[in-house]
Amino acid sequence: METKLDQIKGVGPKTLYVLRQKKIWSTYDLVLNYPKTYQDFTIDQINRLKHKDKITVSGKITSPIKSNPYAKTHVSTFYMELLGDQIEIVAFNKPYLAKQFALNDEIVVQGTYQFYKHQIIAQTVVKKEKNIDIKPIYNIESLHDKTITNIISTIFSEEQVQIYETIPEMFLEKYHLLSRIEAFKKLHLPKTFDDIKQAKRRFKYEEAFYLQLKLIFELKQNQVQRSPINYDIGSIKAFISELPYELTNDQKQAVNDIYKDYKKDYAHYRLIQGDVGSGKTLVSLIATLPMIQTKRQVAFMAPTELLANQHYQYFKSHLKKTRIALLTGKTKQKDLLKQAIKDHEYDIIIGTHALIESNVEFNNLGLIIIDEQHKFGVDTRNKLIDKSLCKDVIFLTATPIPRTLAMVAFGESNVSIIKEKPSQRKKIETHYLLKKDIKKLYDAIDEKIKNKEHIFVVVPAISSDKVDDNIETVKQELILNFSCPIFVLHGQQSNDMQNEQMEKFMYTPGSILLSTTMIEVGLDIPTATLIAIYSAEYFGLSQLHQLRGRVGRSNLSSQCYVISEKDDIERLEILTKTDDGFKLSEYDLLQRGPGDFLGQEQSGYLNFNFLDLLNDYPILLEAAKNVSWLIEQKDFNTNSKYKYLHRHIKNTLKI
């Protein structure tokens, strides 16, 4: 039974009203309201400090407090004794000091040390008997932090709150973690900063533990039993050996991961993260070979017709004896093709959203591959997955997701990362320009046009009052400066117009394609060697990196220019210094949050109070290992000491 706050000494009607406005009704609610930060009142040694250092000192007031109420800014000044010396204290906008403090009062002052004037510019002045070394800051409007601290101190001293342990004792002992009630006490009433550190360490593990509990049970819920897939590894090795290039180590590892999944007795899903140009498509192609050998069909869904057609051509060129179909909105004689798919006249069906239409029936669908999975909504993905009894799924993405996020979304063992680029690829030179230096870009474009190479120009909008660089304005700029063919691509065009513009561009050497971010994924034009991204401040680093990946698809020298009206030096210069999409994605995670990578429906449960997605990866791994071990124990489902875990699982997963 929770204790109501109006039963606690020191909680008057005004305080109660403020807390209830914050939806804080019980003592437990208040304990869950963690301090936002802490003010350090630990006394400093002044002889170690330098000019303008932040300082906290203790001493006695040795002169009357003088005020100048007529100045534009109210100033209070007085002297205090410090280590046998006198130091002047100057406080701005604190007219109450003269009323609250008197000669010989023992005080603690926090402020900025002015070495040359031998004074302290005070931010805080408090009486010493009221001072604590560490002051929790709650930032609850209309309530003093000291009031909240006093209430919480009363709650704990009079045992007016019930706090149950939520972590199995074996893990508390293994990692020397505080009990839950001790962690709350140290969080609210710390005596040292190590108290806060230990409390946060416990709650980090708690958040990681319950996140992993949710993820692992979701995985178990979605597992579908099937027989292991038996394939002829000899013929697969022969196929790989005949490729015109050797797989990178990362590609080999990804293929091994997929083939190990096939040996399990339940269907598996895997995320293949491949940085731009790293060869994900080849890995997915090799993944289809055991399915074809065992007379299973493969469905490959891409987000655009252009990309679907590109994959179709790629698969046809490598798997000449395999029956491959293309199903998109433009496919002619669709009914005949759908009947042929149903009759298993095709082994691999590559397409767009057309694959999820209700009258598309597969015949023993064994594997689903979804390219750029984040471009599809969850419902769209599930409609295709539901067409398979086995539900073996491979998700592909060229958008590097920070490792911890990928683990959260898919599980640690279900993620394969391809970072290495094929050895024949040259590094893309990246330049950051302010708009006033645009002539440098024009010179580079002129050179590419002379060499009959392809140029992308990307803008953030079709037309907008807010963005100067858009399709309309930049098109005029390009026409004025270049005499080459210029093609335009954006989302307001019909599908036919989009495909026409793209095809004309691809088959016109020495031309420019002016586009919105529609070209972000998948396009592979070996002679595309320069991309210019206007108003780069409107894009995240991961998106800029994706766009940059549209060039550098061959051994030709390639350049990327990011142009900005604003001085966005730190962020955009990071792009010029690294081509590691995973490092850029970590920067984006800090700036933009997980929704940019996983979508809001997947990132909603990542609102941690303590866990840091970038720095606490080892804690997540340990928690995953512990949860997996725990649920495999024979007594996990029957032992009453785990009943709170079962209750949590039931409430969280609604089972």
Q: What are phi and psi of 440, to 5 degrees?
A: -65, -40
298 strand-pairing partners: 348, 367
504 strand-pairing partners: none
In contact, 380 and 559? CB cutoff 8 Å: no
- Closest to 637 in 3D by CA, of 629, 628, 646: 646
| One-letter amino acid for residue 607 of the chain | N
Is the domain of 268 the same as that of 380? yes
The kind and range of the H/E element at 415 are: strand 415-418
In a domain? residue 585: no
92 strand-pairing partners: 75
The whole-number pLDDT of residue 471 equals 93
Question: Which CATH number does the domain housing residue 574 bear?
Answer: 3.40.50.300
79-88, 234-243, 634-643: which has the minimum mean pLDDT? 634-643
Is the domain of 178 the same as that of 261? no
Given a cut of 90, whether residue 592 has pLDDT beyond it is: no
The whole-number pLDDT of residue 197 equals 95
Domain boundary among 390, 418, 446: 418
Collect contacts of 81-88 with beta carbons under 8 A, ≥24 apart.
82/46, 82/57, 83/46, 83/47, 83/59, 86/62, 87/57, 87/59, 87/118, 87/119, 87/120, 88/117, 88/118, 88/119, 88/120
pLDDT digits (tens, 9 = 90+) for 293-327: 999 999 999 988 888 888 999 999 999 999 999 99
* Token pair recorded at residue 362: 């597969």
Question: Which CATH number does the domain housing residue 106 bear?
Answer: 2.40.50.140
| Residue 148 to residue 187: CA distance in whole angstroms | 13
- The span from the first CA to the last CA of the chain, in angstroms, equals 26
According to the per-residue pLDDT averaged within each range, which of 30-44, 282-296, 560-574 is highest? Answer: 282-296
DSSP state of 225: B
Sequence-separated (6 or more) residues with CB below 8 Å from residue 590: 614
| One-letter amino acid for residue 652 of the chain | T
Torsion of CA 477, 478, 483, 487, to 10 degrees: -140
Split into its structural domains, the chain has a count of 5
pLDDT digits (tens, 9 = 90+) for 387-414: 888 889 999 887 777 666 776 667 667 8
Average pLDDT over residues 353-367: 93
pLDDT digits (tens, 9 = 90+) for 73-87: 889 999 999 877 899
| One-letter amino acid for residue 273 of the chain | Q
* Token pair recorded at residue 300: 């490959």
Name the more confident of 216 and 17: 17
| Residue 161 to residue 163: CA distance in whole angstroms | 6
Question: 99: helix, coil or strand?
Answer: helix
Is the domain of 379 the same as that of 437? no
pLDDT digits (tens, 9 = 90+) for 540-588: 888 888 889 889 888 889 999 999 877 666 778 888 888 877 777 777 7
Is the domain of 262 the same as that of 150? no
Question: Containing domain of residue 152, as a range?
Answer: 1-37+146-161
Given a cut of 90, whether residue 275 has pLDDT beyond it is: no
- Closest to 350 in 3D by CA, of 392, 300, 396: 300
Is the domain of 71 the same as that of 81? yes
The whole-number pLDDT of residue 605 equals 52
Q: What is the pTM of this model?
A: 0.69
The whole-number pLDDT of residue 655 equals 45
Q: For tokens 């190479």, name the residue.
A: 453
